Each structure stands twice: as structure tokens, then as C-alpha cells.
Amino acid sequence: MAKFPSFETSPSTLNPPENRRQDSMSHVGRHWLLERLDSMLSEPLRNSAPTDLIRHRIMVGAACFLTLINVVFVLRSISTNALPLGSIIAGLGYLGTLLLARGARTPSLPAMVLLVTLGIGHVSSVFVNPNPAGGAHAIGMLLPALAVYLAGPRLGLSITLLLFAALGVAHPYYREQIGIDVSAITASTIWFGHVFAGLCFVGSWGLGSLHSTARSAAQASLERTLKELRESESKLNSVIESTDDLVVSLDREGRLLTANSAARDIYLRRAGIVLEPGQLLFQHDTPEARKLWEARFAQVIQGQRLRLEQTYEEGGARLVIDISMHPIAGADGRVVGATLFGRDVTARREAETRLGEMHRTLVDVSRQAGMAEVATGVLHNVGNTLNSVNISTSLVTDRLRQSRVSGLAKAANLLREHVSDICSFLAHDAQGQKLPAYLIAVSDQLLDERDALLQEMRSLGESVEHIKSIVSMQQKHARAAGAVEQVVVPQLIDEALRLHAVSFERLGIRVERHYAEVPAIYLDRHKLLQILINLLSNARHALMDSAKQDKRLGIQVRHEPDTGHLLIEVEDNGIGIAPENLARMFTQGFTTKKTGHGFGLHISALAAAEMDGRLACSSQGPEQGATFTLELPINREEQ
């Protein structure tokens, strides 16, 4: 069998150098012309769609051409000693078209000004010119075409009908009535009419060429845009296909539009179905699952975003997918579909399960290992709080013993004895006259006593609540992390001070507070309260053992921007700390108090470390007081 010879044609063979130079020059010329036309358009008209931009360019190009033709006509009229007033008005109309095109947001007004000016100028020149065949002039054929192209078929038809009525009916009738002056038709008139018609032919060709040039430019721009879109689509597809995540897009009815290879593979493994565009994605699920998916999809179509985890148990294998569903908005803002992104997190969930089991095992081991220390810590913290409970209980008992309720009972008995002559007793008896004032005084005093007792009972309730929190945190002899919450540190310090307020008052301890503006921090509220109570208790004992008369306790709260920590300083002017004891202050079992057991500061230091903080102490020596500093991170919420 004979084979046809194959020819390879290179670009240089198909397009010789001289042709390429001509094409390049032609391209430069077209580019220059289009730039000049675009410079005559306003920004909105210049940024129109390619097809609309072609019409806008034709409009200003026609206005420029007609301005040139009008100049020729005016110069010819002036040479014949005639005043072309209509042509001058028409020229102003063409210039007005160009001015309107520079500032218009839509092309309607400049297009209508151009068409009306051209029509009125042509009709008036036909009636003034002695040539009886003026209605057949070439410009008369150009005007309907421009009207349809620039203003549309409907307005173009109205302008064409007006031309038909003026030039096809009114002008012949006009010539019939006034007659035809043959002597006025000279050779120069005929020459000018035909040359002017020739110029109109050239102008028609120019407008056609301009339309072709603008259309070619628009087509090239469209092709470039389509090429860029195809390249962007190809890049996007490569990105979607390269990921191991599931990527699916659906229309408003839940039918499949696109799906990447990961989605097709996992759907094939799970349901044994090959995904095809146009099929319902959830049609192969059970009725219950399909109903649930339809409800979720309806939420997404309403504009919501959903994030969920779906677990599938099939054939003994467990599959966990993290799914995100997002609505797709169209150009008008209406939801036209949805995207579904999924990630296989089965391995991660299994690892988290194993990690949780290991963590629980470690917690159980740590609970058993630290049982004695935890129990001692509970007793210590509860004991500190019970001191405040005992003080509040003693104060309530003393107030009740000193209460004036007995005096009120005596007054009631006195009234009971004179119940038969109560009016006379209150009016004439000396005791009865004093009784109302006495009852008023007793009533005021009982109200004060009630308020004081309620305040003490609130303090007592806070102490009991703190004991409950300590017990609940340390149940089953295990130290488990408490609930992390947002805490305003100055308020919590005031709560700790209220637990010691009575003892501070009895001992004559002056409390000085210096609270800077600090942000609320996230931590275990009860752990911080335990630390504060222990520090205040130690300061109270240090001041009790001191012989100084001016017993002072200072509490300062400030923010250290350089380290990002919040500092709480508890300072007293008590018995101080010996230099050799500073390094052992937080050691378990170390104490300098006769009745102490050495667990308070040790437990406080451990609690500070659990909150990513640090507890430190400093002292100038015996009888020089001591300062305990607690550092806590401010940005612990992120951790």
C-alpha cells in the first residue's frame, strides 16, 4: 500500500518574514487606532463587555468621521459665499456626542444625540439642496444601519420610518409643489454631490473596517481570557486531584457535578458504586442516613456551613471521615450548589483512642502513687479553711449571745400584761410611754445584727464551698486537673481575704491592696484560691509571731509585658526567713512553725507548676519580713 508523503510545515514556512512584518505593522496600527477610540470613552463604557465595547467604539468613530465630512461640507459652502447654518449646528451635535461619550455611564444618550443630529442634518440639507434626488444619497443609506447598530432594532426602526416619511414622501411632494429648477443643477453641484457620496462610501467602508478591527480585538481578548480560564481550571484540577482529601461539588438538588479521584475511590470502596456526574450522591445510603443527609444538605442550600464527623462500620472495618460542607453562591448571590470536603481521620481517631487509654492508665498509676501526699494536702487545705469556719462560727455565737432579742421578749411580756388597757398604758404609764421608742431602737439594732450575721454566714458559706471544692477535686485520693475558667485575679484575691478578714481584724493586721489593670486569665480557679489561702495563712502566722506593733500585709497584682506573666506578690513585715531556709521553703515536710507539718507551701508550689506558673519567695533575713511571688501565664487559653 502506498503511503502519502508527510510534510512538516514550520511557522516560518507558513508565514514568511515579510508577511510577519506586515502583520506586526497592521497589529500596531490597529492597536493605536483602538487606543485613540478608547480614550474618547468614559471609564464605564471602556470597561463594558467586548461586544458592547465594539458598538461604543463605532459610535465615537462615526462621530469623528461625520465631523470630518461636516467640515468638508462647511468649507465648500463658505467657498460659494453661502452660510451653512444647519451644518454648523450638526457639527455641534457631533462634538456633543464625543463630549457625552467621555462622561456617560451608558451609551444611550450620546448614541441618540449622534443619530438625531445626523438625521436632522441630512433631512435639512436635502430640502435646501436643489438636487431632486437627495433622498437617494449615500448618507441616507448609512443612517439606518447606524441606527440599528447603535440604538437597537426598535429605535432604529423609528428613525428609519422618520427618514422614510421625510425623504421618501415629504421631499418628493415638496419638489412637486415648488417645481424643479434645472438651472440650479450645475456641473459643480453634480460633482460635489457625487464626490460627497463617494466619501460616504469610503466612510461606510471605514466604519465596517473599524467594526472588523474592534471585533478581532474583542475576539482575541476573549480567546486570551478563555485560555487563562482553561489554564486556571487545569491548575485547579491538578491541585484537587493531587490531594488525598475528598472533594465533591453538587447542584441544588444534590446531584453530582464533579468529584476528585480520592472521592471516587472511597465511594467505590464504601458503596461499590462508580461516581458519575448527574447522580444523587446519597441515593445508595439507607433510608435513615439518606434522610439525615438531605436535612444537612438543605441547611447548606440555605446558606449555612456544616462541619461533622461521619463514622462507617462495614465488614468489621471502621472508617471515620471529617466532613465540611459549604454553599456555592452564584453571581447574583443565590446559592446554586454545595461543595463537600472530606478527610479520612480513622488513623488519627484510633491513635487518640489509644492515647486516651494510656492517659487514663497513667492517671490511675499516679493516683495510687500519690495517695498519701494527696490525702495530706486535702487535710492541710481543709484545715486552713476550717480556721476561718471556726472564727466565723465563734463570731456568730458571740453576736447571738449579745443579741437584744431578750429585751424584745420583755417588751412583749409587758404588752401582754396590759393587753386589756393597752391604750391607757401607752398614753399614761411611764413605762408605756417609753415602750414605742424602745421598740424602735431594738428593731434598728436587730436589723444591724441580722445584717452582720448574714455577712458572717455568707463568709461561712464561702468557706464551706471552698472545702467542698477541695474535696471534689481530690476525690478517691487522686489529683486531677480542675475545670479551667476565666478568672479575674483581683476579685479572687478579695475572696481569699474575706476568709481571713475576721482574724486579720482581731490581730490588728493592716491589709494594703495594690491592683493594677490586668486582664482576666484562664486557669483552675480553686487551685489558685488554695495557693492564696496558704500564702495568707503563712503571712498571718508570721505576723502573729512578730513583736512589731504595726503589722502590715501587702498584696500587689501587676502585669509583666516582657515575660507575658501576671505577678501576684504577698508581702508581710513579720518574722522573716533565715537565708539558710530560703532554698528549702517549698520542700515537702519542711516547716519552721511548732505546730506546722510542712505541706502548705509544697502543695502550693505544685499547684502553681500545674498551672504553668511558678511560686518563689524572698526575704532580707529574720525580722525583715518576707515576700512570696506567684507568676502565672496570661495567654494560657491558647495552651
The verdict on pTM exceeding 0.85 is no
CA-wise closest residue to 308 among 293, 327, 318, 294: 293
Task: Give 441-448 contacts, CB < 8 A, sequence gap 24+.
Answer: 442/404, 442/407, 442/408, 442/411, 445/404, 446/403, 446/404, 446/405, 446/408
Please state, rounded to an integer, the average pLDDT across all residues of the chain: 77
Measuring CA to CA, how many Å separate 138 from each of 196, 225, 365? 9, 40, 106
pLDDT recorded at residue 28: 58
| 323: β partners | 308, 342
pLDDT recorded at residue 515: 92
Tell which CATH architecture fits domain 482-633. Answer: 2-Layer Sandwich (3.30)
pLDDT one-digit tens code per residue, 420-479? 777 877 777 777 777 787 778 777 777 777 777 777 777 777 777 777 766 665 553 344
pLDDT one-digit tens code per residue, 328-365? 888 778 888 998 888 888 888 888 888 878 877 765 65
Task: Give 163-168 contacts, CB < 8 A, sequence gap 24+.
Answer: 163/119, 163/122, 163/123, 166/123, 166/126, 167/123, 167/126, 167/134, 167/135, 167/140, 168/135
| 242: β partners | none
The answer as to CATH 3.30.450.20 being correct for domain 243-351 is yes
Compute the distance between CA of residue 243 and CA of residue 245 in angstroms, rounded to an integer.
5
Asked if 54 contacts 48 with a C-beta cutoff of 8 angstroms, the reply is no
pLDDT recorded at residue 4: 34
Count of CA atoms in the C-beta half-sphere (13 A) of 509: 27
Residue ranges covered by each domain of the chain = 17-222, 243-351, 371-476, 482-633
Compute the distance between CA of residue 598 and CA of residue 575 in angstroms, rounded to an integer.
17
Ranges of residues in the chain with a pLDDT under 70 are 1-30, 82-83, 131-139, 181-186, 188-190, 192-218, 271, 314-316, 362-385, 399, 404, 469-483, 502, 594-598, 636-639
Give the containing element (helix H, strand E) for 634: none
Q: State the chain's maximal CA–CA distance in angstroms.
A: 152
SS (H, E, C) 294-344: HHHHHHHHCCCCEEEEEEEEECCEEEEEEEEEEEEECCCCCEEEEEEEEEE
CB neighbour burial string for 160-191, b if at least 16 within 10 angstroms, e if fewer:
beebeebbeeebeeebeeeeeeeeebeeeeee
**Grid cell in block for residue 132:** 431632486
